[in-house]
Amino acid sequence: MTKALKEKKKTKVSWKQDPDRVKRDIVNAAIEEFARSGLSGAKIDDISAKTDTSKRMIYYYFGDKIGLYERALEAAYQKVRDGERKLDLDALAPRDALEALVAFTFDHHRRNPDFIRMVMIENVHHADYLRQSEVIRDLNAGAISRLENLIARGEASGDFRPGVDATELHWQISALSVFNVSNKPTFSALFGKSIYTRAGQSRLRDRAVAMVLGDVLKR
């Protein structure tokens, strides 16, 4: 049996035995490719080459490149929101919960630059595809709801100043965490890479936590 036939047989067995894994692999490869090449530059052939499936099966599962892009965007948001839920913020004191959330967001974005690139690409497209996704809308509504609950607990305990807005707080946390990744190439080219060392990133994360807490805590 030739190598090509063996690969074809392997693809066929994988699809039949574990279609969910095949779809996850496709989506993960798609996130990487869209983050690297953008929506217009990404090619289904390149995505297929990174998986154990065929171009035909990608179209079967996702319809077309736009359908795959939308699913990849949803999966990228799903990952960060799942991570937030796992923090179990309700089990922590308000100040500790907010500190954990800011630190998690900073670290998640730093470790998942493809997510940030996907967000940047979607901004280039004026959020046209994001707006069409009920999945992403629900995911982010949940993120705001968790912040609203945290803020309410913090105000009730006397830890947080009154009048903290959940959407504005989410913006602030995102701004500190996204810029660190989105502007890494230009910032490091202009000012050096010292802040992108392990120690430098640890200091920036601590500063991000301190800035958010400094704005929210009751004085």
Q: What's the confidence (pLDDT) of residue 19? A: 83
Contacts of 182 (CB under 8 A, 6+ apart): 116, 117, 120
Q: What does the block give as tokens for 79?
A: 């990952």
Q: What's the confidence (pLDDT) of residue 15? A: 53
Q: What's the confidence (pLDDT) of residue 219? A: 84
Q: What's the confidence (pLDDT) of residue 14? A: 52
Q: What's the confidence (pLDDT) of residue 140? A: 95
Where are the alpha helices (H) located in the chain, listed in sequence order?
Answer: 3-17, 19-41, 44-49, 55-62, 65-86, 94-111, 113-124, 128-131, 134-157, 166-182, 184-191, 198-216
Q: What's the confidence (pLDDT) of residue 104? A: 98
Q: Which amino acid is at 201?
A: Q
CATH number of 1-63: 1.10.10.60
SS3 149: helix
Q: What's the confidence (pLDDT) of residue 217? A: 96
| pLDDT, mean of each 10-residue run, the chain (219 residues) | 48 62 94 96 94 90 96 97 95 97 98 97 96 96 96 97 97 97 96 96 98 95
Confirm whether pTM is higher than 0.85.
Answer: yes
Question: What are the domain boundaries of the chain?
Answer: 1-63, 76-216
d(CA 203, CA 48): 40
CATH number of 76-216: 1.10.357.10
Domains 1-63 and 76-216 share a fold: no
